[in-house]
Structure 1
Amino acid sequence: MADSTGKYNIKAVSNMLGIHAGTLRAWERRYQVVDPVRNDAGHRLYTDEHLKILKWIIEQVDKGFTVGQAVDLLDREEIMNAPNSGSEPVNQIEDMKNNIRTALLQFDESAATRHMDHAFNTFSTETVVMSILGGILVEIGELWERGQITTAHEHYATAYIRTRIGMVFQSLPVNGLLPKVLCVCAPGETHEIGLLVFTFYLKQRGYETIYLGGGIPESDIIKVLDETKSKFAVISVTMSGHLDAGLKLVDRIAKDRKDIQVGIGGTAVHRMKTSFKNKYRQHLIGEHDQDADWLDWMKTNNS
């Protein structure tokens, strides 16, 4: 008989399976994949059976199925009777993040590559990019902001990660039925790794993307939008000093090109005052860089 006792909170499950907590909540809400129990405080607790089901769903998604298709194929009894291949330890993703981050901050490319290759061989590409590399980038950015590492450390680490993420782009197929998305940093913004992770997320789901990165003048961005006939424009702002330029670009596109859906995200956007967030609410791509929020924004603005 399956164990119905809730053992794992949502953070533990997120770490074990390599997906964001927001994604888990979205799956439960949209597809009723699992029904976690609640403790006295109302927090979700997941059982071993839930873990096996969620892991199976993730495996099908990694093979190319949509979540909805995987749910339709789900045979709970078969999954529960299958031999237990085991789950990754809760701290395995954290260990990999720490190993890669430490190697990069020591300028040790050989060690970083060794740990990175191990990560790609252990987890799905999306887990590595979204959960491991994305987490490293956030941590390195925080260390740099606190003055605990130099600009040289930050540039070296982000350049290495940018190259590794870029290597997987070419192998991702495009779904011609999905809209074209232009991805660019705000004028003056050069911190582009968060945008690169978001672009990977879109490409993983079949969107055709035009990735411009950072350092592109506003006039050039407008020209590329017109030339490519993009349906979406996604603007990333990491440093608060470039937020005004980013919001100005949003206003210009929204006013002059009403056929284009424009969104803005990034660390500086998350830190905006509530009054600005309310003003730009329809353009905000997720409050916390969670992939479920990203997909919600894309679907809402593509309807």
Structure 2
Amino acid sequence: MSTYSIKDLEQLSGIKAHTLRIWEQRYNLLSPKRTDTNIRFYDDDDLKLILNVALLNDNGVKISKIASMASDEIRNEVIKLTERSLTHDDQIHALTISMIEMDEERFDKVLSGNISKLGFEQTMLNIIYPFMSKIGVLWQTGAINPAQEHFISNLVRQKMIVAIDGQKRFNGGKKFLLFLPEGELHEISLLFASYLIKSKGHKVIYLGQSTPKDDLLSVYKVHQPEFLLTVITTSPSAEYAQEYINSLSERFSDSQILVTGYQVIGQDLTFPSNVRQMNYIRDIKEMLEELSEVHQEK
């Protein structure tokens, strides 16, 4: 069982710690435990409850009414709400609850419902990708445990592979070599980039997780791609990210290198002329649209 500070609850639910304390005192919504050194903490049940409470409260249900409801009643109301709500924040909230509960059936229902309503690409851009970015940061800070993060990542990965396999084959276009650095296992952004690139009619050479430098070079020599794309979430660490980017620039000087990820965005890095920082997955989408415009002009 995971443990959470009130700051963790704030980050996951979006409810200010001050408000949580008021609800705790006035409505007995939460039951914090204490460590041997008298430090307050919360468990999974507390987190699930406050996520459900937050979702209902954000949709106009008064906290006094929520406090009078049994836990099963709260959960059922949340399920009804997420089935009919179209707001992105509510759907992200529902996925967060599914992650905490490790409820595969509920997660799949939420995801499939959104794909049916919005289409795969818009679901990824507006719901799944923001959700995964949020979860990645929370995992980094220890607010959620690796098992929860892996549970959701694998479910999303399965959906993405199916979507990628369903893409039509096109002749022509540019070649993109997609890979993650050695030790890097967070693959969702790379998979979504693969989906977007293929959807625009370009060719993808996909190497995936933890690619050794020598393997990367061998594949590069065979395919000579115009673009390389990588995502740096945890490895290399911020301390070595600049060195890694410089080495890519020198080794693959004839190609444009696209880099993004937690260790890149917002960091104090210098990018060589053949390296382009992608702040968000939408940047990749916009770049692909630019390539399409250039191709059409020709």
Q: TM-score, normalised by structure 2?
A: 0.62
Partner of 1:239: 234
Instruction: Answer whether contact 2:193 2:281 (CA < 8 A) is retained.
Output: no
Partner SS for 1:262: strand
Instruction: Answer whether contact 2:114 2:123 (CA < 8 A) is retained.
Output: yes
Instruction: Answer whether contact 1:203 1:209 (CA < 8 A) is retained.
Output: yes
Q: Unpaired segments of 5 or more residues in structure 1?
A: 1-88
Partner of 2:287: 296
**Partners of 1:102 and 1:267 in 2: CA distance:** 24
* Root mean square deviation, CA, Å: 2.8
Matches within 5 A, 1:1-303: 92-239=87-234, 241-243=236-238, 247-273=242-268, 276-277=269-270, 279-280=271-272, 282-287=274-279, 289-292=280-283, 294-296=285-287, 299=290
Distance change >3 Å, CA 266–CA 136, structure 1 → 2 = same
Partner SS for 1:267: coil
Q: Which amino acid aligns with 2:275?
A: H
Q: TM-score, normalised by structure 1?
A: 0.61
Partner of 2:43: none
**Partners of 2:228 and 2:239 in 1: CA distance:** 17
Partner SS for 2:286: helix
**Partners of 1:260 and 1:174 in 2: CA distance:** 24
Instruction: Answer whether contact 1:250 1:263 (CA < 8 A) is retained.
Output: no
Identity of aligned residues (%): 19
Query: How far has the Cα of 1:228 moved from its partner?
Result: 2.5
Query: How far has the Cα of 1:143 moved from its partner?
Result: 2.0
Query: How far has the Cα of 1:257 moved from its partner?
Result: 3.8
Instruction: Answer whether contact 1:187 1:246 (CA < 8 A) is retained.
Output: no
**Partners of 2:158 and 2:164 in 1: CA distance:** 10
Measured against aligned partners, the alpha-carbon deviations of 1:240-282 in whole angstroms (never above 9, x if no partner) come to 6445665545434433443322221111111321xx23x4465
Query: How far has the Cα of 1:286 moved from its partner?
Result: 2.4
**Partners of 1:112 and 1:200 in 2: CA distance:** 21
Distance change >3 Å, CA 171–CA 240, structure 1 → 2 = closer
Partner of 2:35: none
Q: Which amino acid aligns with 1:206?
A: G
Q: Which amino acid aligns with 1:261?
A: Q
**Higher alpha-carbon Rg:** 2
Instruction: Answer whether contact 1:181 1:209 (CA < 8 A) is retained.
Output: yes
Instruction: Answer whether contact 1:189 1:215 (CA < 8 A) is retained.
Output: yes
Instruction: Answer whether contact 1:186 1:246 (CA < 8 A) is retained.
Output: no
Instruction: Answer whether contact 2:241 2:264 (CA < 8 A) is retained.
Output: no
Partner of 2:70: none
In the alignment of these two chains, the number of paired residues is: 211
Query: How far has the Cα of 1:187 moved from its partner?
Result: 2.0
Query: How far has the Cα of 1:161 moved from its partner?
Result: 0.8
Instruction: Answer whether contact 1:254 1:262 (CA < 8 A) is retained.
Output: yes
